[in-house]
Structure 1
Amino acid sequence: MDSELTIVGGRVLGETLDTSHQQDIFVVDGVIDAIADAGERPPVGVVIDARNQVVTPGLINSHHHSHEHYHKGRYDRVPLELWMNYVRPLTDFPITPRQVYVRTLIGAIQALKSGTTTIVDDLNAGPKLDPALIEASLQAYRDIGIRAMVGVTLFDKPFFRAMPFVEEEFPAELLAKLNAVPTTPASQILDFVSSLAVSHHPSSARVAALLAPSAPQRCTDDFLRAVRRTADDLDLPVIIHVQETRLQAVSGELFYGKSMYQHLGDIGFLKPKTQLIHAVRATPNDMQLLATAGASVQHNPNSNMKLGSGLMPMRAFLDAGVNVSLGTDGCGSIETVDMLRTVSSTALVQKLRGGDHTKWIGATDAWHAGTIGGAIALGMEGRLGEISVGASADLCCYRLDTAAMTPLNNPLQQIVYGETGSSLDTIIVDGKVVMESGNLIGIDELGILREAHAAHTELEPFIAKAEASVNEMMPAYRRICDRCDSHVIDQKILPARF
């Protein structure tokens, strides 16, 4: 039967992380039905020969922005607050559904080829919502075969107003110009996402919807409560950016008189299946609050390093009982959707915190965050991020006859610290083969990339024009950054820079 598949003879990186003997994995209707010693029972359905390969759960990229792909390689040595408006300009530019489709596939290609089987896409729709563009992105994920959860970015305060001192530092004429930009009401976008979730629910759809309120400072409390009610009513995961930078920690104090974590707790926003993206700056009290609420935090090490935001205190979060997931972030901030690089960076840069070396974040911690941690954060523990009976068959097969795996001492550590994706042979998502012998089989990869180059050439003048409009705000932004730098932050916040 086409709904049956057997992976034979692989070294399975399952719950025990023991890959010392060969096993067969039996898949029925996209779900792992049984795991047995190699040869114990005859294979059924499509047979994949995984002898001399290690079979792992697919990685979960819990944070990505597909709308940034045409901005790849344009920015460096720019902190978050000065950079973010370049990839979310209020000046819209013409883009077709086909260009969005191709743009989405750029990231999905790299995601799969770095061992990712689930990607969470925080997709900014631009000033005006066009459902055809959202559908183009969903179709791209359907066609390539990856599991995707797409959240249209939600906010009812424009990005330029998400910082303190805007009324004082922005020229009145510029504020009037920015305020006059027509946008789709946030309530209308929330209604659209709610309707989308009915037909694209994570419980049943491989390409699904979730809720993505941008950040506390970009949403009114009433809007955040509306998002929370929607998430509870529809049983949807939630992702939200929280305290990525020192300036945002200052903003929490100035806007709410407390940390943004504490404010979200006070309005009843913190619950399980809720991921707080970045969480670079936090106090022990913030961590305890999240642990009690069952919320997760999400580490994006490469993006945080490139933007100079700092280093999340991952071990402290884990010790407090807070689940940690991993993400790459968008290609406007960090030019890659490579989750193998993210897992490796997590296990490496977290050691800079020093202290007791037995408490350092290692390969096992990083791998857990990139698999089971991501599943817990999405409310899909037991279904994603692991190889066990009843879990979705989202699996990666790495060859053992490559330089990264030779000689073979510890497959997990060699994947985390040495693998680039070159050893990937077969990838299965939802029980279907999407990569075979290192080649994607659902799309014409080279054709799509050629089309992406052509689309970028056509769109680049509009991107440059939008960037020029953002430059009008830069003098005011720099003054705001300088003022915030002079503010003292809570001394209990764990260090984020060294």
Structure 2
Amino acid sequence: MSDPMQPAPEPSPSAVRFPDHVRRIVGATIVPEPGIQLDDAEIAFHTGTGVIDYLGPVRGPARPEDLDARGRIVAPGLVNGHTHSSMTMLRGWCDDLPLDLWLAQMRRFEVRMTAADIRAGLRLAMVEMLRSGTIGFVDMFSWNTELLGDVVDSGMRVRASPGVFGYGAVAFPMAEPEAGGVVLDEVPALAAEFAGEARITMDYGLHAPYTCPPDLIADVARRAIDRDLGVQIHLSETRREVAQSLTDHGMSPIAHVAGLGLFDTRLHVAHAVHPEPGDIDLLARPNVTVSHNPVSNLKLGAGIAPVPEYLAAGVTLGLGTDSVASNNTLDMFEEIKTGALVQRGLHTDPLALSAPAVLSMATRGGARSLSQGLSGRLAVGEQADLIVLDASGITASPNGDAGSFLGYAARGTDVTDVVIAGRQVVADRVVLTVDEEAARLDVRERVTRVRGELDAR
């Protein structure tokens, strides 16, 4: 793969002929990865394979089928490292409670969600993510063939895990009557069904050690290793959770599940806000990825994760929104800015964490978290997973440093175009693969029904 810092020599425009299968984005400021900026540049990719085959100086004017991107910024697509996408149904449902009481209110709503409700919530979430520059997401909720098919149709990438709370616990009684044990048994079949789809990764999903008993956690660890599947779990989100684990097990939640074999799997951890001594070494294992979710952690009063310490120790960090019920958006640019600034305030040090470092979490760290062999950077030979942002607006003026704009000023509404695996899925701020207006109306009607049921109780 070529180094984007060493672009190819500029050829004579008259000598260049472009095959029909090559799509070009021409004249943009390109940020192949945080800290690198190419001005008045071109990126081209194969629309069949989705692979980038050129990155460098402009090789001639844009053709009608190309994108003239003068005045725009091209950057790697963002990855939402942790969310519960179908919970768009619960946006604004319960905003100001401690986590334990908040979770109880969430469950009151979730147990009334039908399979059609969950599907509607997913579709609305994908519209929001696509429009704000997210090309893939790591998700724990209810997952089945139909829902995974919707992700395929949308063009997005997902690392999905059907969440379980116990062998006998039914997570979504109105949507799927199967208890947790049956859900676990079905995960390998789902993984096999989508094995040929490069944009789908299946995991086992354990909600948390305070809801899942030790024998279940150990069982899932064995299953994951035997079947070469990953695992997702929430760990050490609040001080209360850690204190309870110390009382019940004599160790932190992270150490507890490590003792049950979970850290021997391909593990993705959500939160890890409050590590105890020794936990960071476990999180730094090469088979482990961690999603830092700053906005959700702040909204729920969960705390602030020790991100600089994690990065210094070599922890692979992604960046996530969590669900819109605890956020209330899926805009990853909010996470990037908040993620950088909150560490500076916490440490009273403007050098505690840079915006490029957090942008790298949302791109390169997110790519690792997806577990699909991606780099999260733009380079020849890599998948064309990219976003285009309007740099003509007031918050981008003057725009000498594209990295500064991406880290501190950009918003999801600045995204104009999105390409995933060489397929354009957003064009001029319009999602091409999901009907946005239908998704909005569908969710609105379903939320009215569920809230009416809750009000009647």
Q: Does the TM-score normalized on the shorter chain lie above 0.5?
A: yes
1:259-295 per-position Cα deviation (integer Å, ceiling 9, x unaligned): 1111222222114742211111013421123224642
Q: Could you tell which deviates more after superposition, 151-160 or 72-81? A: 151-160
- Cα distance change, pair 356–278 in 1 and its aligned pair in 2 (3 A): same
Aligned ranges 1:45-444 → 2 under 5 Å = 46-89=65-108, 92-93=111-112, 95-97=114-116, 99-124=117-142, 134-156=144-166, 184-201=178-195, 204-271=197-264, 273-292=266-285, 294-358=287-351, 360-380=352-372, 383-444=374-435
> What is the SS of the residue equivalent to 2:392?
coil
Structure 1 position 116, deviation (Å): 0.5
Distance 2:348 2:356 in 1: 19
Residue deviations 1:87-126 (CA, integer Å, cap 9, x gap): 22498336253x333221221111112111101221147x
Corresponding residue SS for 2:188: helix
Contact persistence 1:10–1:55 (CA under 8 A): yes
| Conservation of the 8 A alpha-carbon contact between 2:232 and 2:268 | yes
- 1:454 to 1:89, Cα distance in 2 relative to 1, 3 A: closer
Does the residue aligned with 1:270 lie in a helix, a strand or coil? helix
**Superposed displacement of residue 361, structure 1:** 1.0
Q: For each residue in 1:220-240, what CA deviation from the matched residue of structure 2 results, as whole angstroms up to 9, or x when unmatched?
A: 333223322333344333221
Report the CA distance shift for 1:205/1:3 in structure 2 as closer, same or farther (over 3 A): farther
CA pair 45-191 structure 1, distance change in 2 beyond 3 A = farther
Letter of the structure 2 residue corresponding to residue 122 of structure 1? M
Matched, 1:22 2:32: no
Inter-partner Cα distance in structure 2 for 1:3 and 1:45: 13
3-state SS of 1:435 partner: strand
* Offset from partner CA, 1:385-433 (integer Å, 9 cap, x none): 2112332211101122122221112112212211122322211112111
Distance 1:423 1:331, change over 3 A: closer
Q: Is the 8 A contact 2:168 2:179 kept in 1?
A: no
| Distance in 2, Cα, partners of 1:427 & 1:375 | 16
Cα distance change of structure 1 residues 159 and 79 upon mapping to structure 2, 3 Å threshold? farther
For 2:79 and 2:443, the matched residues in 1 are separated by 25
Q: 2 CA distance for matches of 1:266 and 1:94?
A: 35
- Identity of counterpart residues, as a percentage? 27
- Runs (5+) with no aligned partner, structure 2: 1-18, 171-175
Q: Secondary structure at the match of 1:216?
A: coil
Which of 283-292 and 300-309 deviates more?
Answer: 283-292
Tell me the TM-score normalised to structure 2 length: 0.86
Structure 1 residue 79 displacement after superposition:
0.8
Alpha-carbon separation, structure 1, partners of 2:82 and 2:454: 23
Taking structure 1 as the reference length, what is the TM-score of the superposition?
Answer: 0.80
Q: Deviations over 1:452-483 (max 9, x none)?
A: 21222223223446xx6xxxxxxxxxxxxxxx
d(CA) in 2 for partners of 1:16 and 1:371? 9
Helix, strand or coil for the counterpart of 2:413?
A: coil
Q: Unpaired runs of 5+ in structure 1?
A: 126-133, 161-181, 469-498
The change in CA–CA distance for 1:273 and 1:10 in structure 2 (over 3 A counts) is farther
Residue of structure 2 aligned with 1:9, choices 27, 33, 36: 27
Q: Aligned pair in 2 of structure 1 residues 32, 44: CA closer, same or farther (>3 Å)?
A: farther
**Any conservation in 2 of the 1:157–1:220 contact (CA below 8 Å)?**
no
- Cα deviation for residue 3 of structure 1 reads 5.4
Distance 1:399 1:67, change over 3 A: closer
- Distance in 1 (alpha carbons) for counterparts of 2:60 and 2:192: 40
Q: Which runs of 4+ in 1 moved over 6 A?
A: 41-45, 157-160
